[in-house]
């Protein structure tokens, strides 16, 4: 029965190109069947590992952003050195994420509050070979020449994090919902020697 499945798979492949004709031994068909089965097992293993990795990353994030900071706070501490010489310290963590839904309003808020320099503009144009002269005539001529182009505005995540930190530490207002502001704590661990 196992060989009949292998024959079915190989038969389907052969029928795709009726001009070719092959004769396979049971041993050859068995090898193909084993390799196909191995592939299925490897795909399942990769999927399992990816799920496991996500779980472990979430657990690590919870450990350094919630569990360790809370434990040290419970004892009124922000730093500790362990018996093995590892230094653990808790610092503020600043994050933000501008969603597509909030993008227009968030960018407008940044511009209205003199922080428009955080917004980077990217214009991408595709020119064919030998159109170097056309490429030199860029943005202001694009619409009149009928060239298709994409125009993208973005705030780099690291720039947003630094901006949130600066504004928060200076006590300045932030559009927290629009900028997806998250201020928390994170434990950093420097292993002892």
Predicted local confidence at residue 16, as pLDDT: 57
Q: Is 144 left (phi over 0), alpha (psi -120 to 50) or beta?
A: alpha
Q: What is the CA radius of gyration of the chain?
A: 29
Looking at per-residue pLDDT, the higher value among 110 and 21 belongs to: 110
pLDDT tens string 57-109: 999 999 999 999 999 999 999 999 999 999 999 999 999 999 999 999 999 99
Predicted local confidence at residue 1, as pLDDT: 45
According to DSSP, residue 150 is labeled E
Q: Is pTM, for the whole model, over 0.75?
A: no
Predicted local confidence at residue 30, as pLDDT: 86
pLDDT tens string 133-187: 766 666 557 778 676 677 677 888 999 999 999 999 999 999 999 999 999 988 8
What ranges do the domains of the chain cover? 2-74, 79-190
Strand 79-81's sheet: what is its strand order? 79-81, 87-95, 182-190
The per-type count for the chain, helices as H runs and strands as E runs, is 8, 5
Tell me if 184 sits within 8 A of 76, measured CB to CB: no
């Amino acid at each position: 029965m196992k060989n009949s499945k292998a024959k079915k798979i190989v038969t389907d492949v052969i029928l795709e190109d009726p001009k070719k004709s092959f004769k396979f031994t049971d041993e050859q068909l068995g090898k193909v069947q084993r390799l196909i089965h191995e592939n299925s097992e490897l795909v399942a293993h990769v999927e399992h590992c990816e799920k496991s990795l996500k779980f472990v990353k979430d657990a690590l994030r919870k450990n350094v952003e919630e569990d360790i900071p809370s434990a040290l706070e419970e004892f009124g501490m922000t730093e500790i050195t362990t018996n093995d010489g590892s230094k653990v310290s808790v610092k503020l963590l600043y994050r933000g994420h501008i969603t597509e839904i909030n993008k227009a309003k968030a960018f407008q808020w940044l511009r209205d509050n003199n922080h428009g320099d955080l917004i980077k503009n990217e214009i991408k144009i595709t020119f064919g070979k030998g159109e170097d002269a056309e490429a030199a005539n860029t943005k202001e001529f694009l619409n009149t020449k009928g060239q298709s182009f994409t125009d993208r505005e973005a705030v780099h995540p690291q720039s947003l994090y630094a901006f949130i930190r600066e504004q928060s530490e200076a006590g300045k207002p932030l559009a927290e919902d629009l900028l997806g502001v998250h201020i928390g704590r994170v434990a950093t661990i420097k292993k002892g020697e």
